[in-house]
Amino acid sequence: MTRNLDITTATMTNTLQPPPEKIVSLNSQETFDSIDGTVGIPLVDDPKMTSRGVNVFYDGKQAIFDVDLDIGNNEVIAMIGPSGCGKSTFLRCLNRMNDTIPAAQVTGNITVDGRDINSPDFDPVLLRARVGMVFQKPNPFAKSIYENVAYGPRIHGLAANSAELDDIVISSLQKAGLYDEVKDRLDAPGTGLSGGQQQRLCIARTIAVNPEVILMDEPCSALDPIASARIEELIDELRENFAIVIVTHSMQQAARVSQRTAYFHLGKLVEVNDTSSLFTTPEHKLTENYITGRFG
């Protein structure tokens, strides 16, 4: 008897409370439909790169939807979002790496210094020197440390003689924060370095061809925390000379290294804001759900 009464009281109490806030499912059609354009500040004055109306399809299935985004000079812009939301796909648009994936088709307009990177007269090899890329897993060539860095400058004819090539190799290793650790063994294989050193070697290799933009796709995900911290410091130093776009699954890392952060969800660019505002006062509900870990 008493027990029944308790249940009734509890039920009545519940009906008096407001219904719990509806939590949308991470991947539902409803969530997808609710994303209508990008909030925040996707565009900047005097951009280094621009993307307008960019879509990407894999075998006809759309993975990126109508993205408008600028990359500023000397900024680090972080790209975050749930796995599979299109971060790597969008990043690859910026130096035409999707050209190397037969199933991929990119539409829309992307420029660097105002020039359409997809126009037939833009050599993709030159583009990839100007817009370099560092991958998730360090991938040094099976060559010496020296040759890993010298490879690009040789191909692009950047050094008139071996002394000039030495200068490029040394200064690239210095900028990548690796020179002091390897200066006595430049002839040793790059693959013999630790994971963190290999990733800095790959950064040196990218820097050696004078890029203007560096794309990094989860560059620390295969590294331990100390090696990751070293890469993060490096990113901050590199910003003086390059624009950097970094995909990261770590919100803490995005908060530490970037000035703007872009939040992708289900292939759409939901929000771009300066990093501190995005993490403290997100404008879009989906951004808020993601950064607070609240997804149903």
Q: Are strands 260-265 and 243-247 parallel, antiparallel or unpaired?
A: unpaired
Query: Facing residues of 269 across strands?
Result: 264
Q: Which two tokens stand for residue 287?
A: 């951004």
- Beta carbon of residue 250, minimum distance to Mg ion (angstroms, whole number): 13
86 binds ligand ADP (CB under 6 A): yes
- Beta carbon of residue 133, minimum distance to ligand ADP (angstroms, whole number): 13
Restricted to residues 258-277, the positions that interact with Mg ion (CB under 5 A) are: none
- Beta carbon of residue 223, minimum distance to Mg ion (angstroms, whole number): 16
- The answer to whether 115 touches 170, Cβ cutoff 8 Å, is no
What is the rounded distance in angstroms from the CA atom of residue 254 to the CA atom of residue 47? 20
Q: Please, is 295 exposed, middle or buried when counting C-beta atoms within 10 Å of its C-beta (0-12, 13-18, 19+)?
A: middle
Q: Which two tokens stand for residue 17?
A: 């409370």
The dihedral formed by the CA atoms of 21, 22, 25 and 26, expressed in degrees to the nearest 10: -40
101 binds ligand ADP (CB under 6 A): yes
- The answer to whether 117 touches 48, Cβ cutoff 8 Å, is no
27 binds ligand ADP (CB under 6 A): no
96 binds ligand ADP (CB under 6 A): no
The Cβ of residue 98 has, within 10 Å, a number of other Cβ atoms equal to: 23
Contact window for ligand ADP (CB under 6 A) among 85-93, 109-117, 140-148, 285-293: 85-93
Contact window for ligand ADP (CB under 6 A) among 20-28, 79-87, 117-125, 163-171: 79-87
- In the shown chain, the binding pattern of residues 40 to 69 toward ligand ADP, with x for contact by CB under 6 A and - for none, equals ------------------x----x------
88 binds ligand ADP (CB under 6 A): yes
What is the rounded distance in angstroms from the CA atom of residue 295 to the CA atom of residue 219? 26
Q: Which lies closer to Mg ion via its Cβ, residue 204 or residue 257? A: 257
- Beta carbon of residue 140, minimum distance to ligand ADP (angstroms, whole number): 23
88 binds Mg ion (CB under 5 A): yes
Residue 197 phi, psi (nearest 5):
-70, -40
- Site for ligand ADP, rule CB under 6 A: 58, 63, 81, 83-89, 101, 103
- Site for Mg ion, rule CB under 5 A: 88
